[in-house]
Amino acid sequence: MTKKNNKLKSIDFFCSGGGMTYGMRQAGIEVIAGIDNDPDVKETYEKNNLGTKFIQADVFNLKEVDLSKYTGINKNDDNLILIGCSPCQYWSIIQTDKKKSQKSKDLLKEFHRFVKYYNPGFVVIENVPGLERRAKESGLEQFIKDLETRGFKIHYDIFNLNEYGVPQTRKRFSLIASRVTENIIKPEKEKYKAMVKDFLGKKNGFPEIPAGHKDHTFFQHTSAKLSKENLEIIKKTPKDGGNSIKERKYKGKGFHDSYSRMSWDKPAPTITTKFISFSNGRFGHPEEDRAISLREGATLQTFPKDYVFYAKSMAANAKMVGNAVPPQFAKKIGKAIIKAMENGK
């Protein structure tokens, strides 16, 4: 890495358990600090990203000038990257209680305050596609106009993360903008598409376990319990991609892909915060009679196997995993920024 690249530094807003931070660090970019209002993610973030500061703060109450006091960053720094990956439940097409996520709908507007104040060399946004579909309401339209007014070169798109080394059908809106290079910055695609078989199974270090297994080691290969009824459903569900709709249609419960198995030779579905639950999507193991484990979900999100999650419950850890930016995709973004800096204007 060149000396110039060593100067690149970033602040990760809405950092959660550190997926974006870890990927950026892997790319070779210093992450000075991560900001999140959830105290439950602090230990996970700090222990897996040693040397990066965790700032517990509600961005609605955080003043622009105070961020400089916490981190030492300055205005108009060409080597500064501000990253905003705000919680996205409000803009998601997944049917969730929008009342709970009402406040989160304005997080991009709050992030915009800091971008305007610090005028960094680079800006990165990662979110659900719904952020773009409702660009005026979400604040994205005004955000982009403001960046353009101040001379930023912007690239944004809906990315299928399976094309970037992530073994999921995960689609995300991502924006990378820079005012210090004329180059369009976008992550580089992989030559192959990652499948479940490339990440899970015995050959990839996952021993067979039953539903309800508790792994007390740092490997965290823990799986959720299944009710007697759901255990019967998964046993009758065909291996390797089977759908259980025939087994439960008379009860009329669940979406089409609920209570179904992943396929070895396909990417996994989007890993959500509920991936440990067989009833919440196609989260059944391809062969074993259980939902995927906490570690399997983290691996499908491209976290390394030694990345430990320290929340107090399995559900809280699964939430961290499901909300994360896959580190592999974050690394691709970081490398694209480094490449743009190396190529100059």
Catalytic residues: 88
Dist CA 273 CA 252 (whole Å): 24
> Are 207 and 179 within 8 A, CB to CB?
no
Dist CA 332 CA 336 (whole Å): 6
SS3 of the chain: the string is CCHHHHCCEEEEECCCCCHHHHHHHHHCCEEEEEEECCHHHHHHHHHHCCCCEEEECCCCCCCHHHHHHHHCCCCCCCCEEEEECCCCHHHCCCCCCCCCCHHHHHHHHHHHHHHHHHCCCEEEEEECCHHHHCHHHHCHHHHHHHHHHCCCEEEEEEEEHHHHCCCECCEEEEEEEECCCCCCCCCCCCCCCCCHHHCCCHHHCCCCCCCCCCCCCCCCCCCCCCCHHHHHHHHHCCCCCCCCHHHHCCCCCCCCCCCCECCCCCCECCCCCCCCCHHHCCCECCCCCCECCHHHHHHHCCCCCCCCCCCCCHHHHHHHHHHCCCHHHHHHHHHHHHHHHHHCC
Residue type, 312: K
Dist CA 72 CA 282 (whole Å): 45
Q: Are strands 80-84 and 53-56 parallel, antiparallel or unpaired?
A: unpaired
